[in-house]
Amino acid sequence: MSVAMKSESPLKAAVSVSAVCRQLGMSRSQFYLHVERGTFHTPLRLPTNQRPYFTASMVEDILKARETGVGVNGEYVLFYDRRASSQESSGTKDHSSLIDGLKNLGLAGVTNQQIEAALAICFPKGSQGHGESDVLRTVFRHLKRSGSA
């Protein structure tokens, strides 16, 4: 007996422009620029109220164009990734898990700024790719040696 698996995001028969933009991670204005250039399909319009929509096959073509970098018109196109969130771009990140780990190790009262400074010294190229326990241990040792905490 076989069980039919549902796809993770089934496509509807008619999809709004806003929904397509959310799937692409793109603003409506950027989306319409790509429509003007022919990178994406021009939306169809409902006869009753002229609201723009896409069919499931059109959405698949648009998603494939974004994925492959080849528009529905066959031309190559480069897409920019959206900017990082304002929390990341402002430079102050939430280090609550590190703060909790440091409290458990006996360092209470450590601030985000102290952790940022320790991370900048201990991981000048960033802590990506390092395990959470390694980062915690390294920051703990740095703060203990420097007397910051």
Residue 86 neighbours by CB under 8 Å, 6+ apart:
none
> Do 45 and 51 touch, CB atoms closer than 8 A?
yes
| Cα separation, 45 vs 16, whole angstroms | 10
At 3 the pLDDT is 47
| Both structure tokens of 7 | 């796809």
At 8 the pLDDT is 42
At 11 the pLDDT is 64
At 112 the pLDDT is 85
At 91 the pLDDT is 55
Q: Nearest 10 degrees: CA dihedral of 81, 87, 89, 95?
A: -110
- All domains in the chain, ordered by first residue: 14-68 (1.10.1660.10), 86-146 (no CATH)
Digit-by-digit pLDDT tens for the chain (149 residues) are 444 444 445 568 899 999 999 888 888 999 999 999 999 999 999 999 999 999 999 999 999 999 999 999 999 998 877 655 444 445 557 788 888 888 888 888 888 888 888 888 888 888 888 888 888 899 899 888 887 66
